[in-house]
Structures are given as C-alpha cells and as structure tokens.
Amino acid sequence: MDLTSGQHTDPEIPGRRGRTVYSSLRQSLTALLFLLVLAVIGCLVANRIYEGYLAGKERGSAAILLGTKGYALSAGITRRVALLEGLYAFTEANTSESDFGRRFDVYAAGLHAGAKDVRLFAITREGVIRYLYPVKGNERAMELDLFLAPLTREDALRTLNSRGTTLSNPYELRQGGLGVVARKAVFAKGEFWGFATLVIDIPSVLAEAGLDRQDRLDMTVRDRAGKVFYGDAGIFAKSPVMLHIGLPEGYWELAAVPKGGWEAPVRRDLLIFRLGTFFTASCLAFIVFQIYDRQRRLRNAVQERTAALKEIENYNRTLFELSPIGLALCSMDGVLVDVNTAYADILGRTVAETLGLSYWEITPEKYEDQERMRLERLETVGFYGPYEKEYCRRDGRLVPVRLHGRIIERNKARFIWSSVEDITDRKHAEAEIKREHAFSEALIDSLPGVVYLYDQEMNFLRWNKNFERVTGYAPEEILRLQPLDFFVEKDKALLQSRIQEVFVKGASNVEAGFVAKDGSSAPYFFTGLRTEIDGKTCLIGIGIDISDRKRLEEELTALNLNLETRVAERTQELNEKSAQLAAANEKLKEVDRLKSMFIASMSHELRTPLNSVIGYSSIILNEWLGPLQPTQKENLAIVLRAGKHLLSLINDVIDVSKIEAGQIEVHNEEFDLFDLVQEAAQQLEPEIRGKGLAFPVTNIHLQLLADRRRLLQAVLNLLSNAMKYTVEGSIQLAVNFDGTWAEISVADSGIGISEQDAKLVFQPFRRLDSSLRGTVSGTGLGLYLTNKLVREVLGGTITFVSAVGQGSTFTIRIPVTVGADAEAKERVS
C-alpha cells in the first residue's frame, strides 16, 4: 500500500550499481552475440536460397537456349531424313527401270542441290552400294556391302526388319567425317530390293543448329547408346541441363552447363547479394539489438523501479505501523479498512478488533450531526480538520482526539485518510495551565498593591484589577498610556532613572506619588524587577500604597519630638534617683563595712572565750583535774559538744560572711595532695571507726598549687557529713587525677538524699528532714560554705550523687596548676 506520495530517495547500496552495470553489460553482449550468430545463419540461409534461385534461373535460361538448339538439331535431322522419303519413293518407282543409274543421278543431283550437307545419297542393290551421289569424296563407299561391313551390318539388318526408316547412331564414316545414316528398305514385288540411304553430315547439322557457337554454355550430345559424339563427355557429371531430342528414329540427348560451371554466371550477383544480405543482416541485428537492449533496459528499469517502489512501500508501511500518531484509512461509507497500532490503541482495541469497525461505532452520539456536516464538506473540499472531538473507546470511555484528513484515491476507489492524535495529556496540561493561570490571575488580583508589567518600549502588557481600581482607568486606556503618565512632572526624571536602573541592574525601587485618572495622588512605594517574558525584557513592578506608613511616620516624628522632652524629664528624674541610690549605696557600703568589722571582731571576741570553754571543759572531762561524778561528766560533755558546735557555727558564719563580702583571702601554696588527704583521714578516723564504720582511703601523690587550708576544710566538711549521716557500712575517701583535674570523693553508705531535696543541700541554713535530724547536730551552713570555697576560692566544682537509703558520694574537682608532671606514686588504703 502506497500511503504517501512523498519523495523517497532509493537508499543506494554500495556495489549494487556496479554489479548491475556489469550484469547489464554481459546481458547486452550475450544478446549482441546471439543476434550476430542469428544474422550469420540468416545470411547463409538467404544465400543458399538465393543461390538456388539464381541456379534455377540460370538453368532455366540454359534450358531455353538448349531447347532452341535441340529443336533446331531435331528439325535439321528430320528435314534431311525427309529427303530419304523422296529417294525411297523414287527408288520404289524405278526399280524396274533399266536406266536406273541415270535416273538416280539426275534425281540425286536434284536432291543434293537442295541439301549440300547431305554427304551421300546411295542406293543399294540387295545390301551392296551400287549407286551413289556425289561420287566425289565417296568413292570408298562404292560397292560396300552393308551386310558385310561390320560398321553397317547391324543397322542394315535392323532397317530390313523394321521396314521403316532407320537412323544410325553417328559414327566416323569410312570416307571420313562424322555422319548419321538414314536408311529405308525398298521392296519390289514383295521382294527386298535394296536400301535407299542417305548420310547426314553431323558437323553441318550441329553447325546449323548453332551448337558450334557455344558462347555461354558448354554443350554435349550423345546418342541413344549413350555415346558422346559431340562435346565434352565430362559435362554430364556437372549436373547439366538435359534435353531429350526426338529423332525420326530414336533420340539424342543434349546436355549443357554454363561455361566455367554453374557458379560462374551468378558469382557477381551472389557476391552482391552476400554483401547486401550481410549488411542488411548486420543492420537488422543491430536494430533488433537496439530494440532488445532498450526493452531489456526498460525491463531492468521497471524491475528496479518496482523493487524501489516495494522498498518505499515497505518503508512507508513501517512508518505507518510505527507512527506514534494514529493513522486510519476509511472507506467512503465509514468502514475502517486499514489502521495502525497507535490508532487502535487510542480506541483501546487491537488492530484486528478495529478493522471493519464503522466510523459511527467509535463516534459518540453527541458528535454525529457535526460529523455528518464535516463529511459533506469533506466531499466538496477533499480534506477536513484539524479539529478536536472525542472517540468512544472499547470500554465506553471517551478519549479526546485531534484529527485531520483528506480524501485519497487508491485503485480507482476513494477513501478517507485520517491522522488522529490522542490529546488526553494535552487536555490535562491545558486544564493544568488554565488552573495555574486562574491561580496566578487570582493571586495577582488579590495582591494588596498595584501590579503591572511593561516592556522596554514602555507599553503595558499586564496589570492587576487593583491597578485599574486605583488609577480609575479602563483597560483600553491603560494600553494607550505609558508608565510615566502616572506621575507628576517633577517626579518623572527620578522615575525614569529608576526604571532605567531596573532594566540595567535588574532591580530598583522608588517612592513617589501615584496619580490617578481624576488627578488625585497617593504616596506609593514601587519595587521593580527585570524579567524575561517570551524573549522580551520587561519590568514587573509592584506598588504599595504607603499613605498609612507616611501618616504613621509623621505621627512618629511628632511623637519623637514629644518623647525627647519626656526623656529629658525622665533623665532628670533618674539623675535624682541615682543620686539617691548612690547615697543609699554609700550607706549600704557603710553597713557592710560595719558588718565586716563586726564579724572580724566577733571572730576574735567570740572564738577566744569559746576556745577557753572548750579547752577547759575538755581538761575537766578528761579528769585531769580530778575524778568527776557521772552526772558531772554527762553535763560537761554537753557543754563541750555545745561549745564545739557553737565554734563551728561561728567559724562557718565568719567564713560565709567573708566570702559574701569578698574579703576572704586566698593563700595559695604548693603542697602534696597526698599529705592533705592523709591529714583529713587521720583527723576523723578515730571518730569514724568509733562509730563502727569501715574507712578505706585511696590516695595518690599529686603536687598542687592551691589554698591548702580551704581545701582541707572542704574535705573535712564532706567527711564529717558522711560520718554524721551514716549509721552503718563504710565511708570511702578516694583521690584521682585525670591529667587536668584532681578529684577527691567521699562516698558513704548512709541515709542518702532524695531527688527533691537534692537542690536544697547547697542552700544556706538548710537541713533536710530525716530520721537522724534530731540526733545529728548541724547548722545547715556546711555544704553552702564548702560549695562557696570550692568554687570561689579553689576554682573547682563540687557535685554529688545519692540514693535514699543507699548512700551519697560527694566529689570535689579542682584544677591542677602545679606539678602537672606529678603522678600517682603510692596508694594507701
């Protein structure tokens, strides 16, 4: 099926043309050779025929010539033999005459006068020649006995027996010369009387008949016995023209061939003919060759063209099959006669299912009227579309398509050729674009300010509804206006330069009055952005009404002015206040100084008597001054305990107030932590062990530069707490060094601290509720002070972990600034 009339260049296969040319040449040469052979055969046949014809003609003319000569010869003999009849009649009449001899002479002389070429007239008596005429030259014949002479005997007998005229074969006469003897027996009274004889001179007769004039033909004559007596006997072997010459008795045969043979006369004609036929045959062969070759080339061309067409057809068929666009051929009454896969796909069918369907089966009803109108139009204009409609798929779904087509003619019948495209995706995309468009339109229109787009020629391309509303111009008016038309004269130069800036740099903004159609103006803040739309450089701009901002700004300016006076007033007030504060501060500082002075003096005034109380009550209690009553001992112990408690409370209070007043002195010194830990352990060991608690110590040598006394105070504090709040189990004191920090931890198996109390332990004067609270003395200042010391004096940290009923571990970490090379040397437990 040829679907297109488009040009298709036959794809040239390399080598094919070469092979074609070669085979074509070979075909041509073969044909030429064949024709030449044919021509040669034709020539030969024609020559043979012509040769035959010429020979026939030659024989004809030879036969005619021979005929005339033969006739003359026959006539010559017959005429002379007729003389014998006269002689016979004369003799018969004169047999009894005595002067027969004289009479014969007269009579014979008369005959001889009319026939000189008769050699001899003779009469025999019985068989012997008695009378002859002329005697001269024939003397030797006289008295010849015919019955006796061997040459004549037979003839004589034959003549006698036949009683008619006999004619001898020619023979050499006794008297010389070639002659034929005619003889007739004469009877007198029933008795043989003698013979009447005459001898005809053959050379004369032959000459008379013209046989001697052999200009064209070689002739020869033979007698009835086959003896050639004239001419060349060999002629008989040369397929001569023969003539049978009837004689008064018997016959002769005359034969003739052209001089030089049969070929001689026709040789020239034949040569001309041969040349002619050869030339003609050559021409004919050439013409036939030309015709054949032309035919062949035409045939080849047709074959090649057919192959090319086939190829084009295949090519087109492939295109048709593989085309992503649906293609269909429909008869004029609407039956699908050929469709491709793409077309069938659109209909949700296979090609086989689609073929034979009617166009109306795949056209939804709603399109029928419209389709009929299109068909009518198609009939007149020859083509339809492109237009869009829907097809009915096999599953009943409608599929949007775009189609166009034309009427084509194939094998004298008309068809509708359609190309159909499934535009479902496009429709979706269009809908999507529409939605997007509507969305962006809505977006632009809902923007608070004016939005506009214009090109470099200052022609407005788009704007939002707000733009029309604010300016009061109708769309067609805006189309005629330019951006600068919306500003007053004095702003135009600025606007122009900013617009320029947008086109050059890409963005700009400006504040200016935006003038509406009615002349009213409002302050606007415009921002412009350069953008490319459809290959055109444009400016997209947004203008925001800043009337409110302006007003606010003005109000703000007014407010600012107001504020300044108020600030001045306030400053005044503040200055007064700060003077008051400074005075108060001074007072406070004085109070603080007084407090410090109080504490300093208290530290001495209180501790000195307390130390005396503690010292003396210890001495008394140790019974160094004499034995004591148990009750005295008990009471004194209470005094000692209370004195110690008071001392520690005073110490703590002094330390706290010193720290808080920033008056605590830091006395850094270099020492071995090992010794410090050892000292603390030794100090509390008796008491701890006295409570029945295990007390393992893990110690290391580590040089430290720190306030030794304060660190010892902190460690003692932790140990004393552990001891206070542990009833049974152990207290572990351990030292560790991680390269930067020295870590001293005190772990006990005491009552522990609950999670909610954890944050309270470092607060001053806080003692937690516990079963031991009543029995254990404390101030609630220990951990508060320890924390302050570790952090503010030693520059370290204090942390703890604890679980109620299981125990607590408090850890002090302080930085190691000296003896960083120191390492743990010994562990003591």
Q: Which residues bind ligand ADP (CB under 6 A)?
A: 721-722, 725, 748, 750-751, 753, 761, 766-768, 770, 778-784, 808
- Of 378 and 715, which has the nearer Cβ to ligand ADP? 715
**Helix, strand or coil for residue 283?**
helix
| β-pair partners for 468 | none
Cβ(650)–Cβ(599) below 8 Å: no
- Of 468 and 743, which has the nearer Cβ to ligand ADP? 743
Q: How many CB atoms lie within 10 A of CB 506?
A: 11
Q: How far is the CB of 787 from ligand ADP (least distance, A)?
A: 9
Q: How far is the CB of 591 from ligand ADP (least distance, A)?
A: 27
Q: How far is the CB of 667 from ligand ADP (least distance, A)?
A: 24
- Of 242 and 642, which has the nearer Cβ to ligand ADP? 642
**Cα separations in angstroms, 276 against 282, 289, 493, 684:** 10, 19, 110, 163
Q: How far is the CB of 782 from ligand ADP (least distance, A)?
A: 2
- Of 124 and 779, which has the nearer Cβ to ligand ADP? 779
Q: How far is the CB of 784 from ligand ADP (least distance, A)?
A: 6
Q: What share of the chain is helix, strand, coil (3-state, %, to 5)?
A: 50, 25, 25
Helix (H) or strand (E) holding 770: none
- Of 668 and 777, which has the nearer Cβ to ligand ADP? 777
Cβ(51)–Cβ(266) below 8 Å: yes
d(Cα 672, Cα 166) in Å, to the nearest integer? 201
Q: How far is the CB of 643 from ligand ADP (least distance, A)?
A: 16
Q: How far is the CB of 828 from ligand ADP (least distance, A)?
A: 23
Q: How far is the CB of 785 from ligand ADP (least distance, A)?
A: 8
- Of 319 and 649, which has the nearer Cβ to ligand ADP? 649
Distance of CA 813 to the CA centre of its chain: 79
- Of 235 and 614, which has the nearer Cβ to ligand ADP? 614
Q: How far is the CB of 630 from ligand ADP (least distance, A)?
A: 29
d(Cα 451, Cα 544) in Å, to the nearest integer? 9
d(Cα 585, Cα 579) in Å, to the nearest integer? 10
- Of 703 and 730, which has the nearer Cβ to ligand ADP? 730
d(Cα 661, Cα 664) in Å, to the nearest integer? 8
By Cβ distance, which residue is nearest to ligand ADP? 778
**Helix, strand or coil for residue 739?**
coil
Q: How many CB atoms lie within 10 A of CB 271?
A: 10
- Of 285 and 719, which has the nearer Cβ to ligand ADP? 719
d(Cα 408, Cα 419) in Å, to the nearest integer? 13
What angle in degrees, to the nearest 10, is found between the helix axes of 16-94 and 100-114? 150
- Of 179 and 782, which has the nearer Cβ to ligand ADP? 782
- Of 635 and 809, which has the nearer Cβ to ligand ADP? 809
Q: How far is the CB of 671 from ligand ADP (least distance, A)?
A: 25
| β-pair partners for 798 | 812
- Of 240 and 750, which has the nearer Cβ to ligand ADP? 750
- Of 199 and 719, which has the nearer Cβ to ligand ADP? 719
- Of 529 and 760, which has the nearer Cβ to ligand ADP? 760
Cis amide leading into 386 (omega within 30): yes
Q: How far is the CB of 588 from ligand ADP (least distance, A)?
A: 28
d(Cα 464, Cα 513) in Å, to the nearest integer? 19
Q: How far is the CB of 611 from ligand ADP (least distance, A)?
A: 20
- What's the 3-state SS for 580-624? HHHHHHHHHHHHHHHHHHHHHHHHHHHHHHHHHHHHHHHHHHCCC
Handedness of CA 292, 293, 294, 297 (dihedral sign): positive
Cis amide leading into 134 (omega within 30): yes
d(Cα 515, Cα 15) in Å, to the nearest integer? 82
**Helix, strand or coil for residue 341?**
helix
Q: How far is the CB of 724 from ligand ADP (least distance, A)?
A: 6
- Of 674 and 800, which has the nearer Cβ to ligand ADP? 800
Q: How far is the CB of 806 from ligand ADP (least distance, A)?
A: 11
| Neighbouring residues of 351: CB distance < 8 A, sequence distance ≥ 6 | 339, 340, 341, 343, 344
Question: Which residue stretches of 95-116 are H helix?
Answer: 100-114
Question: Which residue stretches of 662-753 are H helix?
Answer: 673-690, 708-724
d(Cα 191, Cα 212) in Å, to the nearest integer? 43
Tokens 């068909």 belong to 375
Q: How far is the CB of 684 from ligand ADP (least distance, A)?
A: 13
Kind of pairing between the strands at 460-463 and 450-455 = antiparallel
Q: How far is the CB of 656 from ligand ADP (least distance, A)?
A: 11
**Cα separations in angstroms, 160 against 165, 249, 260, 694:** 9, 14, 46, 209
- Of 643 and 782, which has the nearer Cβ to ligand ADP? 782
